A and B are shown apart, each in its own frame.
Chain A
């Protein structure tokens, strides 16, 4: 874990919650989505 250059805003988290929760995300299941501004050093799956 590193520290990104800037913090994310609550609205950015909210957008990342709303989109996978919508019917348009109907084929996404069991996925983990990091909203981190490239903070993680591992290759994320």
Chain B
């Protein structure tokens, strides 16, 4: 890598977001991490990057992250968006507030950072890449994850609209759709559904994220890529 590459990881304090931050740092990216818990700041310190403790629901906090990265490194090459866990429950027992909360967790988390980081990428010759962590349930929704499935299928539509507009500017956006990953405790009834017979590893998801964030995926945009051990059935 001949010039500094910079990645923002929103929701990078733990789980797949933290795994992505570590992998990108290993690959030579400077990393800036936002998390609500403070773990992101600690991880950023460990990786020699910068950390902001704040919320992905706050435009002010996200602006602080973007501004700090641009001030330190002058560019943003990649943005990884990870999310927490939104409301769950029987589909008609979720309240209006639950559904609004789900939209915050799984859709607006991407829309907000895209608004802020895209103008920076537009100023760069090489554009940039967004990688959003979605779910295998985006296109085969199931009752375990109702708000995640609903709003991440919406995220796929947003991603298509975004890429229609910005592909010519060399700004890409793709979603990774993990199945059951070892960032959560393993449950036998879930493991038994996976054709590969095992949970995926966080580092396997990180590899895919790093590929999509890199120039190696330079002609891939607007895609939803399943990394689920074969659990989804649709062709």
- Chain A positions near chain B (C-beta within 8 angstroms): 4-5, 8-9, 12-13, 15-16, 19, 24-38, 40, 43-45
Contacts and interface: CB of A to CB of B under 8 A. Distances in A.
B221 A45 contact: no
Given A12-B218, A16-B216, 16 more contacts: A5-B168, A15-B217, A15-B218, A26-B201, A27-B201, A27-B204, A28-B208, A28-B225, A35-B219, A37-B221, A38-B221, A43-B224, A44-B156, A44-B160, A45-B138, A45-B139
A12 B219 contact: yes
A42 B223 CA distance: 10
Contact of B230 (A19, A30, A43): A30
A40 B219 contact: no
Chain B, interface SS category = mixed
Given A24-B204, A27-B196, A33 B225 contact: yes
A25 B230 CA distance: 12
B164 interface: yes
Interface residues of B, number: 38
Q: Which of A8, A28, A30 has the most CB of B within 10 A?
A: A28
A18 B160 CA distance: 25
A43 B155 CA distance: 10
Nearest to A26: B204
Q: Closest 6 CB pairs between A and B?
A: A27-B200, A8-B219, A38-B167, A12-B219, A24-B207, A29-B230
Given A24-B207, A27-B201, A29-B230, A34 B220 contact: yes
B164 A38 contact: yes
Given A8-B219, A16-B220, A28 B226 contact: yes
Contact of A36 (B201, B208, B219, B234): B219
Nearest to A44: B223
B195 interface: yes
Interface of B: 138-139, 156-157, 159-160, 163-164, 167-168, 179, 195-196, 200-201, 204-205, 207-208, 211, 216-230, 232, 234-235
Could you say which of A8, A16, A45 has the most chain B C-beta atoms within 10 Å of its C-beta?
A45
Contacts of B223: 33-34, 44
A12 B218 CA distance: 6
B192 to A, nearest CB: 16
| Residue with the highest number of chain A CB atoms closer than 10 Å, among B138, B164, B218, B235 | B218
Contact of B225 (A13, A31, A43): A31
B204 to A, nearest CB: 4
Contacts of A26: 201, 204
